[in-house]
Structure 1
Amino acid sequence: MLRSWTTILALAIPSLVAFAGQTMTGTLNLIIVGKLGFLFIAIVGVVNIIMYNAFAIFSGIGHTVNYLVAQNDGAGNMRKGIERTYFAFYLCALFAVFLIAVGWLFADDLLRLTGGSAELVEAGSFYTELRFYAMAFGIFNFAFHGFLRGIGATRMSMVISIIANAIMLLGTYTLTYGHWGMPDLGLKGAGLAILLGEGIQALVCAFVFWFPLNRKYKTRVPARLDWREMRLIAAESGKLGVQEFSLSLAMYLFTAFVARLGDQALAANEVALSIMSFGFMPAFAFGSTATILVGRHVGQGEPKLGRRAGTDVAILGTLFLIALGTLELIFAMPIAHIYTSDPDVYKLAAHLISVSAYLQIFDGLLNVYAGCMRGLGETTFLLRISVICSWVIFVPLAYLFLFVFDWGSMGAWLALYLYLTVFGIGVMIRFYRTDWSLIRVKEAAGH
């Protein structure tokens, strides 16, 4: 037990630091931009949801690389893992062009669709465009980090993430208000900082992949085009991408519903989500660790050991979220006050945080057991349950609680956590009911 937990923490802590660093960067960026006024908090929050949806569609590539490489690493066949990573990069290049086109042509239309005010759309259009350009680099970066996590190099992934986050944070502080002789660009400066950080991170990832990692994995040997493997990568990426997109689109509608309550309610919602993301992101870290360990055991031909590993990750992740939830419950008001001096905004945000402090445990269970299911290669199940929970439970309940029962922001958040609770428990039950004798390393059709 002790050795198992030590292994989990050795993998999870660097991922935890990396994801927490991303969360902290997003939080500090929101605080910096928030000094411009609550309208700009609302803009950043709405754009974050838009970008979450854009990222979700293509995030399946990174998740697929993560679990396939973990299985290949466990099976001692990293040549196939490298080839699959190359195929994933080819897909990323195609989708990056698409993202650039969408940002250039439709940034203001996407903002308008959220139901935000005309002032919000006018002030946030160029910022949205810059975020799409940054996302074109971001999907490459996510795929590369999926590879690093797949081989267990979570410390290297952490270091690269810290460098990128530092660039984004420093750039936001410098360019938003014109510090140190730089131009005062306001919200546009914050968007440029994110673009700069993602672009430099892509260069660092390319260098690490083709130089330091080449010594061990021969990463400079190009992969011959194999349409069976390409179809596997595309199919798995599609399923995991649609799964994430189903969740993110539901969150987009959730935000659009809250936007109807007014800009102050929307700002409070985004402050609360930003603070609660300190629980969301660590949940992602433990979920990623579950994928690594379960995927390795599948590759080694010992999937039942993955069951034990998944359980241990869930226990550790839950203990962490209990401790974090306690801190959020105690300090909800002063933390929310950091974001804005508007009392209507920070008091409502603190109330939402207090109610959610321990409910986020179910989000942790969802992420851990979803990570386990990815490690097993059970991507079709994740797609099905995500669609069902998002569109049969979450969106209808959010509409009902907001517009029929008139419960305001609290109604929206009750719908959110009912959804996460059902989703998390459903994935957990499926994991323990898996027929372990049927689990094999994922192969392309025809192999």
Structure 2
Amino acid sequence: MLRNWKEILFLAIPSLVSFASATVVGTINLIIVGQLGSLIIAIVGVSNIIMYNAFALFSGIGHTVNYLVAQNFGAGDMKRGIQRTYIAMYMCIVFALLIALVGLVGADDVLRWTGGSANLVRTGSFYLELRFYAMSFGIINFAFHGFLRGIGATKMSMVVSLMANIPILSLTYLLTYGKFGFPELGLKGAGYATLIGESAQTLICAFIFFVVLNRKFQTRKYLTLTFKWIEMKLIMLESGKLGMQEFSLSLSMYIFTAFVARLGDQALAANEVALSIMSFGFMPAFAFGSTATILVGQFVGKGTPLLGRRVGTDTAVLGSIFLILLGTGEFIFADQITHLYTDDAKVYELAANLIRTSAYLQIFDGLLNFYAGGLRGIGDTTFLLRISFVVSWFLFVPLAYLFIFVLDMGSMGAWLSLYTFLMVFGLSVMFRFYRTDWTAVRLKEAAHE
């Protein structure tokens, strides 16, 4: 067990730092622009939800690269792993152009559909447009990181994340308030900072893949390979299932946000502050979930899936410990943390109450990520799609509507519906993990599709 725990932490800690850097940057950015008022907080929060949906729809490509490359790496067949990565990259480029087009022609309409006030739409439309452009680079970056994690290079992934996220943070401050000779652009400056950071990260990822990793994996050698349609079909199918799974979840969160928006700008701002803080709980959940995908996938590739089951369990145990410790800190210091975001008493007091309510309930989000990561490692993507659709649309959305509008429970009702949903989702995925016949798990092959 101790050996497993060391290997898990060796992979998980860099992933944790990588996700933490993005989370911390997002949190500090919200604090920076939050000084411009509760309307700006609401705009950034709603934009984050919209970007989460855009990312989720295409994130399946990165998840697919992650688990297929992990299996190929374990099997010692990196020629196929690199070939699959190229196919995924071409898909990402096509979708990146589509995302940029949506931002160009429809940013204001997308904001309007959230149900925010006319002032929110007018003030935030160009900021959202810039975020769409940044997301075009973001989905490409996510696929590159999927490759790095698949080969176990989580430290390298961490370094790349830090190289991109730290400049985003600096530029947000400089461009928002016009410090040290930079123009004072307000909210637009924060949008430009994100775009610059994501595009720079794409260049860094390309350099690593085509230059640094070429020495070990001959990544440039396979650039001119003739791709088999059956491999492309596999990647499209797996990416579609994982993308729709994430999109089902994120779209339900979008509707949830639209429901909260009907409670007013202050309630929406408090909701976004609380979500921003609780994203620190998502951080270890994602990190250990990603680690489960890597290790389970590699053991499947080696032909020892039962060892993958064991390491998946150990990953969930370690991740849960992290979440309990984090939840304790959030519960104790909720008031002080929320006060960092805004001086609006109604906003930070409501946000603090939401955080205390959910501090320990976030363990269910952890279970969801840990065991979903394990299921991705064995390629059980169909179940993940189905359960995500069922609990998102037949539980979460109806329950949120009931608590917010029928029972008139306001923001607290919204968050109770959120964590009821995560509890059912997390326990369902955990049950599936342990009910799987691991002796029958095999390497994912295109010919078997």
TM-score after normalising by structure 1: 0.99
C-alpha separation between the residues in 1 aligned to 2:327 and 2:169? 26
C-alpha separation between the residues in 2 aligned to 1:61 and 1:167? 26
1:445, distance to aligned residue in structure 2 (A):
2.8
C-alpha separation between the residues in 1 aligned to 2:242 and 2:4? 28
Residue of structure 2 equivalent to 1:166: 166
Structure 2 gaps of 5+ residues are: none
C-alpha deviations, 1:185-228, integer Å up to 9, x for none? 00000000000000000000000000010001000021322111
Residue of structure 2 equivalent to 1:356: 358
1:114-125 alignment to 2 at 5 Å? 114-125=114-125
C-alpha separation between the residues in 2 aligned to 1:195 and 1:385? 34
Residue of structure 2 equivalent to 1:12: 12
Moved over 2 A (4+): none
The one-letter code sitting in structure 1 at the alignment partner of 2:186 is G
Structure 1 gaps of 5+ residues are: none
Residue of structure 2 equivalent to 1:176: 176
The one-letter code sitting in structure 2 at the alignment partner of 1:75 is A
Pairing 1:277–2:265 present: no
Pairing 1:379–2:381 present: yes
C-alpha separation between the residues in 2 aligned to 1:264 and 1:17? 32
C-alpha separation between the residues in 1 aligned to 2:139 and 2:324? 32
1:446, distance to aligned residue in structure 2 (A):
6.3
C-alpha deviations, 1:2-31, integer Å up to 9, x for none? 111000000000000010111000000000
Residue of structure 2 equivalent to 1:260: 262
In structure 1, the residue corresponding to 2:263 is in which secondary structure? Answer: coil
Residue of structure 1 equivalent to 2:76: 76
Partners of 1:67 and 1:291 within 8 A in 2: yes
Partners of 1:99 and 1:135 within 8 A in 2: yes
C-alpha deviations, 1:104-159, integer Å up to 9, x for none? 00000000000000000000000000000001100110000000000000000000
Residue of structure 2 equivalent to 1:206: 206
C-alpha separation between the residues in 1 aligned to 2:346 and 2:317? 38
In structure 2, the residue corresponding to 1:401 is in which secondary structure? Answer: helix
Residue of structure 2 equivalent to 1:292: 294
The one-letter code sitting in structure 2 at the alignment partner of 1:131 is R
The one-letter code sitting in structure 2 at the alignment partner of 1:7 is E
- Equivalent residue in structure 2 for 1:307, among 300, 306, 309: 309
Instruction: Note the aligned Cα RMSD (angstroms).
Output: 0.7
The one-letter code sitting in structure 2 at the alignment partner of 1:411 is G
Residue of structure 2 equivalent to 1:149: 149
1:371, distance to aligned residue in structure 2 (A):
0.1
The one-letter code sitting in structure 2 at the alignment partner of 1:31 is I
Residue of structure 1 equivalent to 2:25: 25
Partners of 1:228 and 1:446 within 8 A in 2: no
C-alpha separation between the residues in 2 aligned to 1:209 and 1:14? 19
Pairing 1:59–2:34 present: no
Residue of structure 2 equivalent to 1:3: 3
Partners of 1:75 and 1:299 within 8 A in 2: yes
C-alpha deviations, 1:201-258, integer Å up to 9, x for none? 0000000000010001000021322111111111000000000000000000000000
1:281, distance to aligned residue in structure 2 (A):
1.6
Residue of structure 2 equivalent to 1:38: 38
Residue of structure 2 equivalent to 1:419: 421
C-alpha deviations, 1:388-413, integer Å up to 9, x for none? 01001100000000000000000000
C-alpha separation between the residues in 2 aligned to 1:250 and 1:280? 17
In structure 1, the residue corresponding to 2:308 is in which secondary structure? Answer: helix
Residue of structure 2 equivalent to 1:197: 197
In structure 2, the residue corresponding to 1:339 is in which secondary structure? Answer: coil
1:438, distance to aligned residue in structure 2 (A):
1.7
Pairing 1:429–2:431 present: yes
C-alpha deviations, 1:347-372, integer Å up to 9, x for none? 00000000000000000000000000
1:437, distance to aligned residue in structure 2 (A):
2.2
Residue of structure 2 equivalent to 1:113: 113
The one-letter code sitting in structure 1 at the alignment partner of 2:130 is L
Partners of 1:134 and 1:195 within 8 A in 2: yes
In structure 2, the residue corresponding to 1:211 is in which secondary structure? Answer: helix
C-alpha separation between the residues in 2 aligned to 1:317 and 1:305? 18
Q: How many residues align?
A: 447
The one-letter code sitting in structure 2 at the alignment partner of 1:254 is F
C-alpha separation between the residues in 2 aligned to 1:281 and 1:386? 20
In structure 2, the residue corresponding to 1:440 is in which secondary structure? Answer: coil
TM-score after normalising by structure 2: 0.99
C-alpha separation between the residues in 1 aligned to 2:301 and 2:381? 16
